[in-house]
Amino acid sequence: MPTRGARPELTVTKHQLRDWIESRLATLGQQFDDKAPAIQINRTLKTVEMPPLPDAPGEFNLIGTVRDVDLHFDSGAFVVVTGVGILCGYDESVYAYEWRNGRWERLWESEQNDDTPEKTYKPRSIDSVYVWAGSIDSGHLVREVVRNYSIRGDHIQRVDPVALSPRDFVDEWLVRPWTGSAAWSGAAGLEEWHKKMHADWVAGDFDYPASMHCQTPDLWQVGFTPADEKKNFEPKPEVYFLVRWRPPYHFTMVGAADKPRADSNQPDPEADEWRTLFSSQEWRQ
């Protein structure tokens, strides 16, 4: 089977699944726990299944099945990743939604619909979703958001990289709920700092350069001055975050303080340069 069992009907199935999920999103407001609809949607999907095709071994034939749908908030957008069964795997698609005019509207989608036998069919596995999001830094406006996932069976887990620079890592650490940021934290007392600074809307200014290289080779200090939205965005006392960066892009929050470290005296503007996973880059020495 040159298309691993994929046929033009596969695209129809993808769109039927997408439209059905969107009908569920139509019942949701702007603020909700993304875990609840994910559980309900996947529970329903497990009860709907087509019989496999007779011309393929049953243990490898996933045609007529769908894997668990991944639904999560991503910097103001709501991201949905679906997978429709083919031989020996799933063909995955991703959709992003934005709250507009009192409802969730699709703003972007990515599918593999080249599933006819006369064409080269390459089913996709979604490992990362890139989203440009607003930065908490008023001087940068937007930043690159990385969503990298490990998919094992029906289990989906976000894994490294979660950012590509120390500054963007601090940005991501502050705006994510503690349930997410805890996995990227490696020191006692960080939960209290997170509770103190995390909010529905975080704003302020990073130092320039934001990242200072410490004498310890794998440590960077990132200075951030939060803004007080209750006092006309007046600056609050500066906070200094200590980030461990191990190649290529493994970041861990290992400290936070109201005073800078004495050994963070090496300005490193290159640390926060724009970079991407989708082009060939050499790790800087």
What is the per-residue pLDDT across 170-193, written as a single tens digit (0 to 9) for each? 999 998 889 889 999 999 999 999
Close Cβ partners of 106 (under 8 Å, ≥ 6 residues apart) = 22, 95, 96, 97
Q: How many residues in total does the chain contain?
A: 285
**Pairing mode of beta strands 89-100, 77-86:** antiparallel
pTM, entire model: 0.60
Which pLDDT score, from 0 to 100, does residue 97 have?
86
Which pLDDT score, from 0 to 100, does residue 100 have?
75
Rounded CA separation 212/210 (Å): 7
Mean pLDDT to the nearest integer, 134-156 = 73
Whether the CB-CB separation of 92 and 83 falls below 8 Å is answered with yes
- Here the tokens at position 34 are 């993304």
For residue 98, the 8-state DSSP code is E
> Three-class SS of residue 66?
strand
Q: Which is more confident, 282 or 257? A: 257
Rounded CA separation 136/173 (Å): 11
Per residue in 96-137, pLDDT (tens digit) is: 887 777 888 887 788 877 555 545 556 666 666 656 667 888
Which pLDDT score, from 0 to 100, does residue 285 have?
40
Instruction: Supply angle C-alpha 38, 44, 49, rounded to 5.
Output: 125
What backbone torsions phi and psi does residue 114 show, to the nearest 5 degrees? -85, 75
Q: Which is more confident, 3 or 243? A: 243
- When pLDDT is cut at 50, 70 and 90, the band that residue 60 belongs to is very low
- Here the tokens at position 30 are 């702007």
Whether the CB-CB separation of 84 and 66 falls below 8 Å is answered with yes
Whether the CB-CB separation of 174 and 185 falls below 8 Å is answered with no
- When pLDDT is cut at 50, 70 and 90, the band that residue 6 belongs to is low
